[in-house]
Amino acid sequence: MHEFFMAESVLRIVEESARVHRLHRVTGIAIEVGELAGVDREALRLALRVVLTGSIAQEARVNLVAVPGSGRCTGCGRRVALARRYDACPACGHPGVQVTRGSELKVLEMEAS
């Protein structure tokens, strides 16, 4: 389950940012999760609950922000919504749609005290 690896990466980012900013407790974490990133959001939420236990962010509220998939068709040039990474262009049917959004997984912000 790669969600545990991702949760550990989130924890490293949170701990490093907390160290740099001399924070004592992280109370909230917002994480952007692209719908094309291949991440099971519920598995990630569970992995974060396990990984954050005993850390500076142990009691943090975790907000997973869904980012819809979108891309640019290399055939017709239109910007289109994508439900899956390898979908054809819904406008012209061309199979070459370059993903422009929705494949990211990143820490957006943290709340701390």
**Gap between the Cα atoms of 34 and 106, Å rounded:** 9
8 A C-beta contact, residue 49 and residue 7: no
pTM: 0.86
pLDDT in tens, the chain (113 residues): 689 999 999 999 999 999 999 999 999 999 999 999 999 999 999 999 999 999 999 999 999 999 999 999 999 999 999 999 899 999 999 998 999 999 999 999 999 98
Q: Which domains does the chain have, with CATH numbers?
A: 2-112 (3.30.2320.80)
SS3 assignment, position 69: strand
DSSP state of 1: -
Asked if residues 30 and 63 have their Cβ atoms less than 8 Å apart, the reply is yes
